[in-house]
Amino acid sequence: MISLTDLADSLGPGLLRVVEDGHGTQVHDVVLAEPGEAAGQPGELVLGVGVTGPADAVALLERADAAGADGVVLKAPLAGDAEVVAAARRLRPALVELQPDTSWTHVVWLVRGAIDRAYAPLPGPVGAQDVHNDLDALADAAAEIADAPVTIEDARSRVLAYSGSQDTTDPARVSTIVGRRVPSEVIAHLRASGVFRRLARSSEPVFVPESPDGMLPRLVVPVRAGGEWLGSIWVVARTPVPPDRVQRLTDLASVVALHLLRLRAEAGVARRVSADRLRAALRDGAPIAAPPPPWRVVVLGTLDAAGDIRRRLDLWDSITYRFGWHRPLIGDLDGALFAVLTDPPRPQAEAGSLPWLRHVLDRVRSHDGALYAAAGGLARSRTELPRSRAEAAELAALVASGHLAPGLVRLEDAWDAVVVERARSAARVDAGLLGGPLPALRAHDERHGTAFLPTLAAWLDHFGDPKGTAQALGVHPNTLRHRLRRMAEVVPLDVASPRIRMALRLQLSALGHPAGPRNE
């Protein structure tokens, strides 16, 4: 089900803005307000076409409230009028503001497309296929106007469509089309030249001169809606494009903007619906639309953005799309970013599988070593997904704390670290220890500045080997022997029992003396 807030967020502030949330939760259709008739019904968003004054706006809100409608859309600045806002606060329907220069017909097309996409998801990449087809047609139209090859790209330099003409091109264009994304070195050159800054701030076309690495000149026409930069039309301008044709490309950009808004809205709504279903599956084992099991729940993380879930979601969404997983099962839950991947018996690196993720991480970690993935155990049915999620979260915490190296970490590869961490957590205490020699050794360290606790931890980690223990501590073996004698004088140390050694090691870990790095 789609909330009105999710729908407005998906379309973006360049089109809709929620002024008052109202009391409704879901929308499933959009209708026009007809004079003298009931203004909508539950689950409907009512468009205030022809409403021009505050009195009419309040009357429409009251009619919508009586009919049980979930929201009313009014154009700015009427939606921000104090009388209208006050009425919306006391009534059930939400109040939504529409940018004043937007066509009502376009709103119906965009909103219904987004709702249809959410309730009847199409196969293939996120975003309705007919929108992609329309963008391809618009790219061909732009190429015909400019008499040159064209790509249509979003604001993140992802290629959404390209023209069929290939007669004049360069390596940058070929790489862009093949990879469906502008190469990083080209992006760096354009960013250094200030091209993206100008596109983000202005509606004026930008001319990009030929670069030393062989990139041909480009004419870039920004695509904007409501002041928001949505993307660009890129023309390989081997020869200057005449001013009248530049104007026609600028006019075409307004049509492209509508399609980009719909593409974004449908993708955003579909992603929200998918994320809600994924959360239910990860929490309670609810049904999930996924390829056949077995699955693994994986935490997708990056060490340099631990507290920014939106940035992590954008980053991993871009990565998965780039490497062919166009409908990823990714969502946030409890501050972490989770994905459900298949793990087939045979190592087939299909998009959305664990072998595929290993390949992706091998590629992207060469540029960003902070990225990692922590995979819980196999889930052979949806009822096992919550258990796999909990295991993935445990592994991710160990990676984030530095106890495990970043990369792709599976439960089977680090089960021992998870077992120790669970025991350590159970042994953790806030005040005092249960008993044994550690209270006396800790008190001696605090009073005299000795290092008995880390010495005992290293001694246990190296099975009592003096040479290995001394190397781990960075001291001479004679120094180590002296410390051990002094420790025995402070408190009796009986480490003959394996159970006592294990208990001591867990207590030491709980006090902040973890085991040394795992031998990979």
SS3 helix, strand, coil % of the chain, rounded to 5?
Answer: 50, 15, 35
Is the Cα dihedral 275, 280, 285, 287 positive or negative? negative
**Bridge partners (DSSP) listed for residue 332:** 337
Tens digits of residue pLDDT in 54-104? 999 999 999 999 999 999 999 999 999 999 999 999 999 999 999 887 888
Of 263, 269, 5, 268, residue with least CA distance to 118: 269
DSSP state of 286: -
On whether the CB atoms of residues 279 and 329 are closer than 8 A, the answer is no
Listed residue (121, 475, 517) closest to 290, CA to CA = 121
Checking DSSP bridges between strand 44-47 and strand 29-32, what pairing results, if any?
parallel
Would you call 194 helix, strand, or coil by DSSP? Answer: coil
Cα gap 410→237, rounded to integer Å: 50
- With residue 445 as reference, give the H or E element that holds it: helix 438-448
CA 320, distance to chain mean position in Å, is 10
The whole-number pLDDT of residue 311 equals 76
Residue 35 has pLDDT above 80, yes or no: no
At position 196, the amino acid (one-letter code) is F
Instruction: Tell me the pLDDT tens digit for each residue of 457-488.
Output: 999 989 889 999 999 999 999 999 999 999 99
Mean pLDDT of the chain: 85
What average pLDDT score do residues 429-455 get?
82
Paired with 225 in beta bridges are 228
> Please, what are the domains in the chain?
4-119 (3.40.1390), 129-261 (3.30.450.40), 290-425 (3.30.70), 428-510 (1.10.10.2840)
Q: Which residues contact 212 (CB under 8 A, 6 or more apart)?
A: none
Strands 330-333 and 295-302, sheet pairing: unpaired
pLDDT band at 122; cut points 50, 70, 90: very low
Those residues whose C-beta lies under 8 Å from the C-beta of residue 56, and which sit 6 or more positions away, are none
- Measured CA to CA in angstroms, residue 195 lies from 72, 94, 256, 513 at distances of 39, 40, 20, 52
Residue 276 token pair: 């809600």
Question: Two tokens at 331?
Answer: 């969502």
| Position 306 pLDDT exceeds 60 | no
Q: Which two tokens stand for residue 258?
A: 């509508």
Model confidence over 207-235: pLDDT tens digits?
Answer: 988 876 678 889 999 999 877 898 999 99
Q: How far from 163 is each of 102, 150, 178, 237, CA to CA, in Å? A: 28, 5, 13, 14
Angle at 29 between CA 26 and CA 31, to 5 degrees: 125
Mean pLDDT of 264-277: 77
The values of phi and psi at residue 422, to 5°, are -65, -45
Q: How many whole angstroms separate alpha carbon 461 and alpha carbon 318? A: 42
Letter for the amino acid at 296?
R
CA distance 36 to 58: 15
Residue 74 near residue 96 (C-beta atoms within 8 A): yes
Residue 434 pLDDT level (bands cut at 50, 70, 90):
low
**pLDDT-derived band at 127, boundaries 50, 70, 90:** very low
CA distance 166 to 176: 13
Give CA–CA dist 427/512, Å, rounded: 12
Separation of alpha carbons 62 and 396, rounded Å = 51
Residues 6+ apart with CB under 8 A from 333: 279, 282, 283, 389
pLDDT in tens, 246-270: 999 999 998 888 888 888 777 777 7
Q: What is the mean pLDDT of residues 298-313?
A: 78
For 424, the 3-state DSSP assignment is helix
